[in-house]
Chain A
Amino acid sequence: MSDRSNSKPETGAFFARDRAWHPPAFAPGYKTSVLRSPQRALLSLDGTISEITGPVFGHSILNELDNDLIHNFAKPGESAIGERIIVHGRVLDERGRPVPGVLLEFWQANAGGRYRHKKETYLAAVDPNFGGCGRAITDGEGGYAFRTIRPGAYPWPNGVNDWRPAHIHFSVFGHGFAQRLITQMYFEGDPMIWKCPIVGTIPDKQAIEQLIAPLDWGNTIPMDARAYKFDIVLRGRRSTLFENRLEGN
C-alpha cells in the first residue's frame, strides 16, 4: 500500500455529502431496505483525520488479467460467452480533478443474468468460463478500463415480476475513507432501468442518468468489442489554504 503518483498529498476535509442526491436508507419499493435502514438521524461531523486518510493500493496487487473478465476465469484458450465489451472511464472528484492511483473493483452476472454465487438460484446456466469479478487501479489521469461481456438482466424476488436491468457493480476507493463508494453502472437505452425498484431508490432523474453509461462508438474496436464509457465522481476536498489544523502538533 505504498506506491502512488508524485502529486502532493491531499489533506483537506471532504465536501459534505448531498444525501438528497443519493438514495435514502429507507426506500420501501426496495423491500430489503425496510428492515436494514437506520431510523435515527445520522450524527454529522466535519471529517477528522480518521476519514480524511484512507488505504491506497499499489499496482503490485494486480495480476495481468485482473481487468479482463473475458479471460481471468476461463480455461486456457477459451473465453466467456456473450457480447464482448470494453468499459472505461475516469475517476474524478467533485472539483473535476482526476483521482489517480485508486482501486476499482467490478462484479457482475454472466450474459444470461446468472451470478456465480452459492446463494443464486436463477435457472439460467452458469458459464464455465466466466467468474464475474475484476479490478483495476486508475492511472495518472484517473483513467481505468476493463474488458468483459455484457451482463444479462435477471429476475429477483422483490415484487412478483421484478427484473434488474443489465448492470455492473462498482466498488471505488478514493484517497480518503470518506470517499468510499459502491454503485452500479447501467447501459444506455435499456428500458429495464426505468422499471427497477433499486434504480428507483434514487429520487432524482438526473442522478439516475449519472449511472447510465453511453455507448462509446469511438472507442469500439472493429471486429472485437464495443465500448461503454462510465465516469465516476467521488467527493471533492476543500482546498487547504485556510485549514486550521493543529493536529500536526
Chain B
Amino acid sequence: MVQDLGYLKETPSQTAGPYVHIGLTPNYSEIGGVYETDLGSVMVNDKTLGERITVTGRVIDGAGAPVKDAVLEIWQADSAGLYNSPSELRGTADPNFTGWGRCPTNSTDGVFRFETIKPGRVPFKDGRKMAPHITVWIVARGINIGLHTRMYFPEETAANAEDPLLARIEHRDRLATLIAAKEGSVYTFDIHLQGDKETVFLDI
C-alpha cells in the first residue's frame, strides 16, 4: 500500500431553505432582541474612502419569477483594491470598509440592495489586473449549494476587455450576464438562475 494522504472530505452542502432569514438576518425576520443588528447590513461609514454606489437587483428563477426568499452576500476590495482580510498581504485595507455585505431579497418584490463603494482593481494570479468586480454568493430554498458569480461595471470597458476571468467565457454573448446596468450611482445586477439569460456561475 502507498501512504495515506489523510485528507478529509468537505462537509456536503445543503439548501439554506425558506427560513434562512432566522439565522442570517433575524431582525429582518422579526426576531428582535437577540442580535443588535443583522450582520452585513452596513458596509460603509462616514469615513469610508471611495465612490459611493448602490448595488441592487433581483434573482430570477427559470420561469421568470423573482426569488423572494434568497439571501445574497457580497465580497469586494476597497477603493484601493485591497481586501479587508487577514489573507490580504499586499497592504492594509481601509479600516472603515468591511468589504462584506449580506442582504435578503425582499419578500414582497424580490429586490436586494447594498450600499457600498466601487472597488479598485486587484491582481490576477499572474500579476495582470482584473477589472473591478464584486463577488456575489447566493443561497435560497431550492439552491442545494451556494452559487458564486461576479458583478462587473459597464463603464469599465477597457478593463473588462482585458479581464482574465471574462476572457475565459467561451460563449461571448454570455459576458453581458456579469455586467451590471448603470444609472447614476445605482448599478442594477439581475441574476438569472436558469434559461436563455442564465448568469455565468463560477466553480472557483
A contact set with B: CB distance below 8 Å: 1-2, 4, 9-11, 16-19, 21-25, 27, 30, 32-40, 42-57, 61, 63, 65-66, 72-73, 92-96, 105-107, 115-120, 131-133, 135, 169, 171-172, 175-178, 180-184, 198-199, 201-202, 206-208, 210-211, 232-236, 244-249
Are A38 and B83 CB-contacts (below 8 A) given A43-B200, A94-B7?
no
| Residue total for B at the interface (Cβ-Cβ under 8 A) | 85
Please tell me if the beta carbons of A25 and B86 are within 8 angstroms of each other in the complex.
no
Q: Are B88 and A115 in contact (CB under 8 A)?
A: no
Q: Please list the residues of chain B having a beta carbon within 8 angstroms of any beta carbon in chain A.
A: 6-24, 26, 29-31, 33-36, 39, 61-63, 65, 67, 69, 73, 75, 77, 83-90, 95, 98-100, 107, 122-127, 130, 133, 135, 137, 139-148, 150, 165, 168-169, 174, 193-195, 198-204
- Could you tell me the distance in whole angstroms from the C-beta of B86 to the nearest C-beta in chain A? 5
Partner of B203, one of A10, A44, A53, A246: A44
Known: A35-B62, A37-B194, A94-B8. A115 touches B19 (CB 8 A): yes
A-B contacts, 8 listed (Cβ < 8 Å):
A19-B203, A49-B88, A106-B23, A116-B29, A176-B85, A184-B14, A184-B15, A246-B123
Q: Which residues of A contact B14 (CB under 8 A)?
A: 23, 169, 182-184, 198-199, 201-202, 211
B30 and A25 contacting across the interface, CB-CB below 8 Å: no
CA distance A36 to B15 in the complex (A): 11
Given contacts A9-B87, A63-B35, A117-B22, contact A32 B168 (CB under 8 A): no
A246 to B73, CA, bound (A): 28
A106: B residues at CB distance < 8 A: 23
Choice from B10, B23, B144, B150 contacting A21 with Cβ under 8 Å = B10
B40 shortest CB reach to chain A, Å? 8
Least distance between B41 CB and chain A CB atoms (Å): 12
Interchain CA distance A131-B22 in the complex, whole Å: 8
User: Is the contact region of chain A dominated by helix, strand, or loop, or is it mixed?
Assistant: loop
Q: Which residues of B contact A32 (CB under 8 A)?
A: 141-142
Interface centre among B30, B36, B87, B143 (most CB of A within 10 A): B87
Give the interface centre of A1, A4, A245 by most chain B CB atoms within 10 Å. Answer: A1
Q: Assess whether B200 is in contact with A40, with CB atoms less than 8 Å apart.
A: yes
Once the chains bind, are A73 and B84 in contact (CB under 8 Å)? no
CA distance in complex: A244, B127 (Å): 10
**Most chain B CB neighbours (cut-off 10 Å) among A32, A119, A236, A246:** A32
Q: Report chain A residues within 8 Å CB of B62.
A: 34-37, 39
A48 to B126, CA, bound (A): 10
Measured in the bound complex, the distance between the Cα atoms of B13 and A39 in whole Å is 19
Q: What is the distance, in angstroms, from A155's C-beta to the closest C-beta of chain B?
A: 13
A219 to chain B, nearest CB (A): 20
Closest 6 CB pairs between A and B? A107-B23, A32-B142, A36-B142, A53-B85, A247-B123, A246-B127
In contact, B7 and A11 (Cβ under 8 angstroms): no
Q: Closest residue to A72 on the B side, CB-wise? A: B34
Residue pair B168, A43 in contact (C-beta under 8 Å): yes
Could you tell me the distance between the alpha carbons of A9 and B85 in the complex, rounded to whole angstroms? 9
Chain A residues with Cβ below 8 Å from B24 are 105, 107, 171
Partner of B11, one of A19, A52, A132, A234: A234
A50-B149 Cα distance, complex, nearest whole Å: 11
Q: How long is the Cα–Cα vector from A211 to B10 in the complex, in angstroms?
A: 11
CB nearest to A36 among chain B residues = B142
A233 contacts B124, CB within 8 Å? Answer: no
A133 touches which one: B17, B18, B34, B125 (CB < 8 A)? B34
Q: Which residue of A lies closest to B74 (CB)?
A: A177
- The docked-state distance in angstroms from the alpha carbon of A27 to that of B83 is 36
- The smallest beta-carbon distance between A125 and chain B, in angstroms, is 16
